[in-house]
Amino acid sequence: MRKRETKERREPTFEAARERPELNASPSTSPARKNSGSRRSARRRRSLLVTSLSWFFTALVWATIAGAGVVAFYATKLPPIDQLEVPKRPPNIAILADDGTLLANRGDTGGASVRLADLPPYLPKAFIAIEDRRFYSHWGIDPFGILRAVTRNAAGGAMQGGSTLTQQLAKNLFLTQERTVSRKIQEAILALWLEHKYSKNQILELYLNRVYFGSGAYGVEAAAQKYFGHGARNVTLAEAAVLAGLMKAPTKLAPNRNPAGATERAAQVIAAMEQEGFITEAMGKLALAHPAQAVRGAGAGSVNYAADYVMDVLDDTVGAVDQDIAVTTTISPALQANAEKALTEELDQKGAKFGVGQGALVSMDPEGAIKALIGGRNYADSQFNRAVAARRQPGSAFKPFVYLAAIEKGLTPATIREDAPINVRGWQPENYSRQYFGPVTLTKALSLSLNTVAVRLGVEVGARNVIKVAHRLGIVSELTPNASIALGTSEVSPLELVAAYAPFANGGIGVQPHIIVRVKTAAGKLLYQRKGASNGRVIDPAYLPMMNTMMQETLLTGTARKGEVPGWQAAGKTGTSQDWRDAWFAGYTSHLVTGVWLGNDDSSPTRKASGGNLPVEIWSRYMRFAHQGVPPQPLPGGLWQAPAPFWPAEPSAPAPVAESGWPSQPAAQAYPPYPSSAAPAQAAQADSRPRNNGFAPPGLIPNAGQAAQARPAPRERNFFDNLFGG
């Protein structure tokens, strides 16, 4: 029994555990010591947590203090907002000519403010759906909307903003349109103030009565009258969607200018309204099936194109307009009227013959002040401003930038280049006439608009260098760096092309095209006064006479022989894009720089309208009138004089063009003209003659040997040929 009891006493589990080595007690693993270590670890974790929280709250306090300081700082810079009231009507903007006469009014016939209760329910809901879906739930600033916009922008989608309707209202009421951090902070402060001061419906009503809808219309009532011919109380769902869609880009999406763009944006508004449950699917389908149509406005002159452009840039000039103002512009009434007459009458007489439906004209003084701006054939038919907003291929009118880039690399107007077939990676550009002249001077090549020479020069100097020159002179559109850039295949607007020609007319200074001179309130308070500004020197004085000489020859013996201004030195360049889609002429004197574009809005080909026919005729007609009574002045910088003839001795070694990817070309060399008695073939063989003054003839150009295949029959030489060896 005792053995059984002893055996049973050995059964408890602690006896078995005692036999396990890993459970044997030691000084370092005793239960007391282990519990003590656990408590110390817990205390350390709690201490670390407390320290982290302490640092976090300290940083939070300092961040709050800093944020409050920034907010307080910008709050002190805010305009007074305690007298905010809904205006009885949009402010009147009187647009004046350079002589103070009235050109147009904007805003005085827009209509009175409307109450939210008087509008169809879907009209304000359209704005909420597309601009601020959480309008009735946020407090002026929508963090979720900001986060959503940031997320979508980071994902590479269409750029979106996070501004609420209240923030947009604050910006329109009190601030300028500049995109700065300080302005966004002030906008947020004002949004919070508005939410505190007014109810949601009051804010929405203020918004609908104050925002800009394009075409000079401020407020939803003015916009409805402007675009649809009736008040906001009677707009259809399709019309409401168009009005709400305008908030993205009032000028670009105006239905009387861009009906396709307005309809596309309206469809997005309809879809957003369906998603939010504001309308049924059936209502959305009906609206999409019957899109809104803008009404035709009353007949109006081309001065409205200039007035629209004033409105487009006015916001960036003085910010939100909350009172009657007078805007004095650079527009000359006489030049504007004559430009309209020259363009419309020439198109009325010859437009059908040449298959040309539209045109544009921009004229500015050499300092960049716009004196005439015609955005289309008939403002009543189309308010789209082609002079400013249309971008088309300039064709050979872009070549002066190529030649200037070549001149800057050491060539001169007397430099010889081969006019012959050329192949650039399978691309084989041809001359307009499909004839080739063999060795020609750059002056002759530019005046006759020889494409092969322009392409050779573009390859020699590099496409990126050509683009740098164009951008430096005033082209702002994106240009594609390829071989065809030499022939003007990248699109530009008439306004920027004319601005880029201005440095040729003013001595080499880059200009900032402008139309607003000053802005005053109705009481006479000066709000803005333009001060002289330029982009500095963009053409070296040594190169300016060379460019003037080459471009003047275009009017004397080249493609623009119809374009003369009696008594004046005039220069310029014609341009015709591929398949006769665009016809240009841009030219200048020391008094004016003017460009003319002709074509069709759908980019359909014309009936061989080229820069040398209709555009030159319109340009010449307008410029002759514009120079009446003005004492003639020579072109700044004068004309280039060719050095005395001499014979260079030995050719310099060919060097590849720096820009990678182009065919290897000889280094650009400048050299004097050969004597007039030398035939082109003789000139081409002058490499072995004695060298003089460091000049050398050009090395071999790709495909130069093919020139003889298509040379025209000899023609009678003129004085210019004798002078430059053409």
Residues 6+ away with beta carbon under 8 Å from 112: 88, 89, 221
3-state secondary structure 121-169: CHHHHHHHHHHCCCCCCCCCCCHHHHHHHHHHHHCCCCCCCCCCHHHHH
Q: Please give the backbone phi and psi of residue 657, each rounded to the nearest 5 degrees, phi first.
A: -65, 140
Q: Give dist(CA 418, CA 405) in Å, integer.
A: 18
DSSP state, 410? Answer: T
Q: Which of the residues in the chain have pLDDT under 70?
A: 1-40, 42, 56-90, 107-113, 148-162, 176-181, 297-300, 644-726
Rg (CA), the chain: 36
Q: Give dist(CA 32, CA 670) in Å, integer.
A: 98
Q: Is 610 a catalytic residue?
A: no
Residue 725 tokens read as 């060896």
Residue 53 tokens read as 């929280």
For residue 361, the model assigns a pLDDT of 98
Which residues share a beta bridge with 576?
Answer: 583
Q: How many residues does the chain have?
A: 726
Residue 658 tokens read as 């720096």
Tell me the per-residue pLDDT of 569-610, one tens digit each, with 9 for 90 and over.
999 999 999 899 999 999 999 999 999 999 999 999 999 999
Q: Give dist(CA 411, CA 547) in Å, integer.
A: 11
Residue 438 tokens read as 């063999």
For residue 346, the model assigns a pLDDT of 95
Residue 205 tokens read as 């009503």
DSSP state, 182? Answer: H
Q: Is 534 a catalytic residue?
A: no
For residue 321, the model assigns a pLDDT of 81
Q: State the number of CA atoms in the 13 A half-sphere of 616 facing the CB.
A: 24
> How are the residues of the chain apportioned to helix, strand and coil, as percentages rounded to the nearest 5?
45, 10, 45
CA 362 → CA 251, 373, 592, distances in Å? 19, 5, 10
Q: Give dist(CA 697, CA 166) in Å, integer.
A: 69
- Candidate list 163, 215, 332, 396, residue with the active-site label: 396
Antiparallel, parallel or unpaired: β 370-374 and 358-364: antiparallel
Domains delineated in the chain = 119-289 (1.10.3810.10)
User: pTM above the 0.95 mark?
Assistant: no
Burial of 338 (0-12, 13-18, 19+ CB in 10 A): buried
For residue 50, the model assigns a pLDDT of 72
Q: Where are the alpha helices (DSSP H) in 409-493?
A: 442-447, 451-461, 463-473
Residue 64 tokens read as 């709050």
Q: Give dist(CA 29, CA 25) in Å, integer.
A: 6
Tell me the per-residue pLDDT of 261-288, one tens digit each, with 9 for 90 and over.
999 999 999 999 999 999 999 999 999 9
Task: Find tokens 């040594």 and name the residue.
Answer: 542
The DSSP code sequence of 369-422 is BEEEEE-SS-TTT----TTTT--B--GGGGHHHHHHHHHHTT--TT-EEEES--
Contact, 350 vs 377, CB < 8 A? no
Query: How many C-beta atoms lie closer than 10 Å to residue 252's C-beta?
Result: 15
Residue 378 tokens read as 């008939």
User: Number of helices (H) and strands (E), helices first, in the chain?
Assistant: 23, 12
Task: Find tokens 């408590």 and name the residue.
Answer: 39
